[in-house]
Amino acid sequence: MIKDQEYLSEKATYCLDLAKKLGATDSSVVVSNSISETVNFRNKKLDESYRSDNLAIGITTYIGKKKSTISSSNLLKENLDTLIEKCIETTKNTPEDEFNSLPDKDLLANEVKDLNLFDNNHIKNEEKIEYLKRLETSASVNKKIVNTESSFSEDKSNFILANSDGFCKGYKDSSFVASSVTVAKDEKSMERDYEYTNKCHLKDIKDAEVLGKLAADQTIRKLSPKKIGSEKIALIFDKRIAKGILGTFASAITSSAISRGTSFLKDKINQKIFSDKINIVDKPDLLKGLGSRSFDLEGVKTETLNLVEQGVLKHYLIDTYNGKKLNQKSNGRCGGTSNLYFENGNISYKDLLNANSKCLYITETIGHGSNVVTGDYSVGATGFLIENGEFKYPINEITIAGNFKDMFKNITLANDLEFKYATNSPTMMIEGMVVAGK
């Protein structure tokens, strides 16, 4: 059983009181407890099973404009006393920074919304094993599948965030994650792919047979890939790849990158960076949302942000420290986005495939080729050649490249948005990408 709010609150309050007694002018504390249970399978046999139960505390103390942080997994009183004493001593010897402070009191969350993020159901190891047996059996039906790995994890956590301005709130959440990785082989190649399901509630995860079949089908269709030549061509990004492009956008609008001047989107507020049809939303109050929350890592209340409206950038992701550097108030994004997504486009998936007589459909990218400073983008990729809306054959060993300043303006989105992750995108087409092949 995870620790309840009362236990976590008592620990947090004790630390705040002691920090004040020892000379802190302000302080904040995070106390958390998480329990994780995981079962792994390999080639239809039980590989390993493990459980972890973690208690943790993080303490931040301020003396004027000086600040330091310390953390531990030992919540015994004697250790907490020592931790806070050391934190205070470290703070005294830390240089002043005019931007150090707790969040403004009027920005702190007044309530914790019930976003249905916690499922009290527990799935026993025997049931996890049974699920994975069915998953692996389904994934192995086709003889071309030569290797399988799968896992089932159940995570439950609870936390309290408290500070010396009287804020003391937290909530429980849970996640159930099942994944399937398969390797397929034919006379020409060996390929690998995966599928997974991640939900707050047990009843919402994919059926084992469905998950295993999806992973196997996606792997088998990649067999016997062909090489193609270099050209400039439209690319269609599968949804799980398209969300990565949205993730890069989020990295480029963090207040830390903006305040340092290390983002290609610096000084772009109220400027058009996408086409008129692009809208981007960060919505923290989605029921059962994987990124849902009532407040950020500082306790600042979170509200829906329309980050991009008709192609125009409206907001950065602002925390307290970097917000002060930018002379802006926090908008509850310390720690990043919540449920971030492109709104649906106005074209169907099928029509997107038919938008060009020839294009490439990207299902996997290789490497970390996104440069937030310059906007340059270059990664290895695999996928499929599409001609007249039909998938012709798999391709590999290509490099795709561009610059986000141009890519953003050439995005077309399908109307097939699904909320499967914390960051979500419909299927995406980008015109005029450079492909380097054989």
- pLDDT per residue as tens digits for the range 29-63: 999 999 999 999 999 999 999 999 999 999 999 99
The phi, psi pair for 289, rounded to 5°, reads -70, 140
Based on the fold, state whether residues 10 and 32 are members of the same structural domain.
yes
Based on the fold, state whether residues 192 and 312 are members of the same structural domain.
no
- CATH, residue 12: 3.30.2290.10
Length of the chain: 438
Q: Give pLDDT, residue 376.
A: 96
Based on the fold, state whether residues 168 and 255 are members of the same structural domain.
no
Q: Which residues pair with 295 in a beta bridge?
A: 301
Distance CA 257, CA 312 (A): 19
Based on the fold, state whether residues 234 and 127 are members of the same structural domain.
no
Q: Give pLDDT, residue 152.
A: 98
3-state SS string over 151-216?
EEEEEEEEEEEEECCCCEECCEEEEEEEEEEEEEECCCCEEEEEEEEEECCHHHCCCHHHHHHHHH
Q: Is the pLDDT of residue 1 over 90?
A: no
Distance CA 414, CA 412 (A): 7
Q: Give pLDDT, residue 367.
A: 86
Q: What is the pTM of this model?
A: 0.95
Based on the fold, state whether residues 254 and 239 are members of the same structural domain.
yes
C-alpha radius of gyration, the chain, whole number = 24
Q: Kindly report, residue by residue over 377-388, the tens digit of the pLDDT.
A: 999 999 999 999
Based on the fold, state whether residues 164 and 229 are members of the same structural domain.
no
Q: Which of 196, 220, 244 is the last residue of a domain?
A: 220
Based on the fold, state whether residues 242 and 297 are members of the same structural domain.
yes
Please give the average per-residue pLDDT across 278-301, as a whole number.
97
The phi, psi pair for 290, rounded to 5°, reads -70, -20
Give the containing element (helix H, strand E) for 90: helix 77-92
Based on the fold, state whether residues 346 and 380 are members of the same structural domain.
yes
Q: Which of 220, 240, 259 is the last residue of a domain?
A: 220
Distance CA 37, CA 157 (A): 12
Q: Give pLDDT, residue 438.
A: 73
Please give the average per-residue pLDDT across 230-245, as a whole number.
94
User: Can you list the positions of beta strands (E) in 11-141?
Assistant: 26-42, 45-63, 66-72
Based on the fold, state whether residues 170 and 261 are members of the same structural domain.
no
Read off the pLDDT band of 369 (50, 70, 90). confident
Least confidently predicted of 116-120, 149-153, 230-234, 303-307: 230-234
Based on the fold, state whether residues 15 and 152 are members of the same structural domain.
yes
Q: Give pLDDT, residue 284.
A: 98
Q: Which domain holds residue 269?
A: 225-438
Based on the fold, state whether residues 131 and 237 are members of the same structural domain.
no
Please give the average per-residue pLDDT across 9-29, as a whole number.
97
Based on the fold, state whether residues 361 and 423 are members of the same structural domain.
yes
Q: Is 30 helix (H, G, I), strand (E, B) or coil?
A: strand
Q: Give pLDDT, residue 103.
A: 97
Q: Which of 220, 250, 269 is the last residue of a domain?
A: 220
How many independent structural domains does the chain possess?
2
Tokens of 378: 């270059």
Q: Give pLDDT, residue 432.
A: 87
Tokens of 333: 């994004």
